[in-house]
Structure 1
């Protein structure tokens, strides 16, 4: 067999082996977080006497060690403020004769469900029924927030796809930059309109939510443009790892960062899909409360992409000038 033929078969074997490894990594990235998920340090407020607050804390730690991070709130109004400011997911109000649970299911439907189950257990132990007050429910047309979970990821990945298409079809750096910014604005307005008027996922704050969506798209698009321009084709692979391989399963969009394995949920919020989802949740349902951190994360991705893009264009310019 000629050497060229043997080399060709070795290349086939190497590609097949590499693809098998890639599939294994993808399966692990998508399957391991949900398989190892569980509550850890879920912020929860308790309103009551110091003794009652400590009693609840001890019982929670005994039932699920490390599952909840309990904060004492002065009264029910203080607890409401903590929830609406997105500092806690819910609050147990024990100051009245009949205990109550305050939640905001729009912050996380999965966490709200767990808190309801927790309230039921505490009520059964005390022989009382715990009333539930949902301060920020999802709209009636999308009561579980499925549109948000399904829509935030395409917003982030849309930036990745847009960047790849721009790199394949448009050569000039200024034209690529204009296309990236233009798509971010149009895409943010369009996809937010679909989520609000088509799916009923949002029922207010259209323009601020559209701006948040545009920032998420722009951060993803510029990250890919910058990485590809500065690093070449490997930059697209690096972007795919950040946005798809890690960003999607660690985003916490369908649950909450506190329900992912410890540390991984935090990492997911530092990547565009997770930050985009958190920013959309804050702007759409909580009037911007809790939006600062995800907005800063996305701004850093955007700024980093712009810097890499500028460096890559500057580096390529002398080569273009010296070409015959």
Structure 2
């Protein structure tokens, strides 16, 4: 039924205000993390004499309270090992020959630059030289890791769009599940191939990276399918909020979760873009260290999303119902062609007999 003349202007105003609010929310979600970016509890190792170590720790706490969590590895080799295992973000080695600053650009280019600056300050205060060593770096074709930083949005949008398209064109639940898994496998291989061979973001570990990308896409897609099928338009809104509005800017891929305002940096690691980025980074550059949390988050999204879908199907909500609701609610293109339930079931109204 068409809107009355008095309701149409109100609907137009509501649409314009709603879209403006959504646009403003997107801007804030993407801009605020960068504007308020600062270090939180960066794990810095200091290898020096006890008095020098304590002096450096006090100086850091005075200049930037809460920015660094200082520990004291037993040697330079121990500090290097802890950086490779993701137990440290960087280290300062202070000796008679100067200050050696150990960083990992593969862990975070922004954090590496920040710690390198700290090393230069310490060297300047002691009137000695400063040398920087990159313990773990990106591939030769993408030394600053731009490909990995840009990967959060394609992963989120790819899983989102893939899930919606498959819900619209695939009616059978088994076919939908099988196709979603196939999409995750093929899509994960495609993204990893681009990162490895086109962009040169990393030089090895192709199959571990592919596995991480597959899990990320599957978790995203099943999350969208489960929420949309069970909760309808509200579920689609929740998925959009988690994956795009919050998930992408809070992923920390362009800087580091430790540089985002807290607790938003930590929250981002419970959403698929952030968890997928962390998993990719750690399996490729850090021999699989510190991957447990990210793997658990993605598995939870996958399993809960699949469970939501199964519950919805058992309640009688089919993929056809979901597709028709999506077209009606989001696009409004089935309103005039929608076939009533009694007609689909073969019933003819009394007045038509």
CA RMSD between the two structures: 2.0
Please tell me whether residue 60 in structure 1 is matched to residue 60 in structure 2.
yes
5+ residue gaps, structure 2: 322-340, 346-353
Distance 1:182 1:232, change over 3 A: same
Higher deviation after alignment, 15-24 or 256-265:
15-24
Q: Which one has the bigger helix percentage?
A: 1
Query: Which secondary structure does the structure 1 equivalent of 2:316 belong to?
Result: helix
Contact 1:157 1:217 in 2 (8 A): no
Higher deviation after alignment, 8-17 or 94-103:
94-103
Q: Distance in 1 between matches of 2:166 and 2:50?
A: 60
Q: Distance in 2 between matches of 1:152 and 1:240?
A: 14
Query: Which residues in structure 2 correspond to 1:56-135 (within 5 Å)?
Result: 56-95=56-95, 97-135=97-135
The aligned length equals 323
Aligned to 1:159: 159
TM-score by length of 1: 0.95
Q: Distance in 1 between matches of 2:16 and 2:65?
A: 45
The ranges of structure 1 where at least 4 consecutive aligned residues each deviate by more than 6 angstroms after the TM superposition are: 320-323
Query: Which secondary structure does the structure 2 equivalent of 1:147 belong to?
Result: helix
Contact 2:243 2:271 in 1 (8 A): yes
Report the CA distance between 1:208 and its aligned residue.
0.7
Q: Distance in 2 between matches of 1:254 and 1:101?
A: 22
Aligned to 1:14: 14
Q: Distance in 2 between matches of 1:312 and 1:47?
A: 57
Contact 1:153 1:277 in 2 (8 A): no
Distance 1:96 1:307, change over 3 A: farther
Q: Deviations over 1:49-78 (max 9, x none)?
A: 332221111010111111111111111121
Contact 1:156 1:276 in 2 (8 A): no
Report the CA distance between 1:317 and its aligned residue.
6.0
Q: Deviations over 1:146-200 (max 9, x none)?
A: 0111123312321111101111111111111111100000000111001100110
Query: Which secondary structure does the structure 2 equivalent of 1:4 belong to?
Result: coil
Q: Deviations over 1:245-302 (max 9, x none)?
A: 1001111101000111121100011100000100000111111111111111111111
Report the CA distance between 1:14 and its aligned residue.
1.1
Query: Which residues in structure 2 correspond to 1:169-180 (within 5 Å)?
Result: 169-180=169-180
Query: Which secondary structure does the structure 2 equivalent of 1:141 belong to?
Result: coil
Aligned to 1:265: 265
TM-score by length of 2: 0.88
Contact 2:152 2:251 in 1 (8 A): no
Aligned to 1:150: 150
Q: Distance in 2 between matches of 1:222 and 1:306?
A: 6
Flag the structure with larger Rg.
Answer: 2
Aligned to 1:241: 241
Aligned to 1:284: 284
Q: Deviations over 1:110-129 (max 9, x none)?
A: 11011111111111111111
